[in-house]
Amino acid sequence: MYICVCKAITEDDLRQLGNSGLAPKEILKKLGVGDSCGVCLIDALEGLSLQTSSASSGATKQK
């Protein structure tokens, strides 16, 4: 699904950079999320937050 229609950024794009270990702010800047109209910013941050929390819970479960 598209997160940012203006820049054609998808959930997969966010997921791939999210797995790179970059901070959410760095990911958004690198992809250009929010540079145009800004409507996508909330969805992008929410998606990154969910990805980070699921990665954290997965790491916790493995201990």
Name the band, by pLDDT with cuts 50, 70 and 90, for residue 49: confident
Q: What pLDDT is attached to residue 46?
A: 87
Each residue's pLDDT tens digit, 8-29? 999 999 889 988 888 888 989 9
- Residue 13: the pLDDT is 92
What distance separates the 2 farthest-apart alpha carbons in the chain? Answer: 42
Residue 54 burial by CB count (10 A; 0-12/13-18/19+): exposed, middle or buried?
Answer: exposed
Bigger pLDDT: 26 or 53? 26
> Quick check: 11 and 46 in contact, CB under 8 A?
no
Beta bridge partners of residue 14, listed in sequence order: none
